């Protein structure tokens, strides 16, 4: 089965809201060190008062969610679903 894009999410990220503890370092194949942050994008079916339909937060572990740890919101943006064409239907 061919892999197809079904939607995109464009967002702005406020780097000042990302705590150092959320930034993970990892080794690269070229012996340099990379940095990453795990994010979750929430896509909504309507826009907010600013015209945004997506919200970006730091990802939480199941344990953090179970403990009731609050989400840290770090950005927002737009969810852009694509429309299937007649060529995309299998019948």
Summarised one tens digit per residue, pLDDT across range 46-67 is: 999 999 999 999 999 999 999 9
Is this model's pTM higher than 0.85 or not? no
Sheet with 73-81: list strands edge to edge.
7-13, 73-81, 54-58, 39-43
Residue 84 has pLDDT above 80, yes or no: no
Listed in order, strand segments (DSSP E) in the chain are: 7-13, 24-27, 33-36, 39-43, 54-58, 73-81
In terms of Cβ atoms closer than 10 Å to its own Cβ (0-12, 13-18, 19+), residue 39 is middle
| Per-chain mean pLDDT for the chain | 89
In terms of Cβ atoms closer than 10 Å to its own Cβ (0-12, 13-18, 19+), residue 60 is middle
């Amino acid at each position: 089965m061919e892999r197809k894009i079904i939607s995109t999410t464009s967002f702005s990220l406020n780097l000042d809201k990302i705590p150092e503890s959320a930034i993970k370092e990892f080794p690269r194949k070229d012996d340099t060190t990379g940095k990453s942050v795990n994010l979750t994008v929430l896509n909504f079916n309507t826009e907010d008062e600013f015209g945004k339909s997506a919200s970006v937060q730091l990802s939480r572990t199941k344990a953090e969610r179970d403990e009731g740890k609050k989400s840290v919101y770090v950005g927002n943006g737009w969810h852009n679903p694509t429309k299937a064409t007649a060529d995309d239907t299998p019948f």
